[in-house]
Amino acid sequence: MSLAIVPRVRGSLPARSCPSKRPSQTDDVFLRRVRCQFAWLEHHVPTLNEVARSLAVSERTLRRHLRSLDTSYSGILRQVRQELSQQALIYSDLTIDQIAASLGYSEATNFRHAFRRWVGCSPQVFRAQARSFGPKELIEAAA
């Protein structure tokens, strides 16, 4: 099963910056380009090297640029996985195991632990609450 059936929430990556430096429009574009590399996450989780090559920069340059924006490859991957998992739990009937596999987790247990760390509850509880309260309120509460 693929997460392609799950509607993707549009929006930019939340900016984490120090008070003296706000991300420029160029920075936002760069972060969106990096996030786009994870668009096919359910088929393949790209490595840092693959992302760098597709953006025509070296791995070191990519790392340095992400660090200057107060983020990292693993941080972006985590955010993308979190967003896609929440959307899949809300808008699809995929099982937890199917969602975990689609997000590149080797075992559903690893996904369950990560989800609990991100949101504060298990994927099953999140899905049940989403169906009870409505998805918009639940995503806002988890943020």
Type and span of the H or E element at 131: helix 123-133
Q: What is the pLDDT of residues 92-107, one digit of tens each?
A: 999 999 999 989 898 9
Of 74, 87, 72, 93, nearest to 119 (Cα)? 87
List alpha helices for 37-122, DSSP H: 48-54, 59-68, 73-91, 96-102, 108-119
Q: What are the residues whose beta carbons fall under 8 Å from the beta carbon of 33, sequence distance 6 or more?
A: 55
Question: CA-CA distance, 139 to 143, in Å (whole number)?
Answer: 6
- Measure the CA–CA gap between 112 and 69, rounded to whole angstroms: 29
Q: Is the pLDDT of residue 5 over 50?
A: no
Q: Which two tokens stand for residue 47?
A: 């490595």
Q: pLDDT (tens digit, 9 = 90+) per residue, 39-86? A: 666 667 889 999 999 899 999 999 999 999 999 999 999 999 999 999
Q: Find where tokens 């979190």 sit.
A: 82
Residue 18, pLDDT above cutoff 70: no
b/e 69-87 (16+ beta carbons within 10 angstroms → b): bebebeebbebbbbbbbbb
pTM above 0.75, yes or no: no
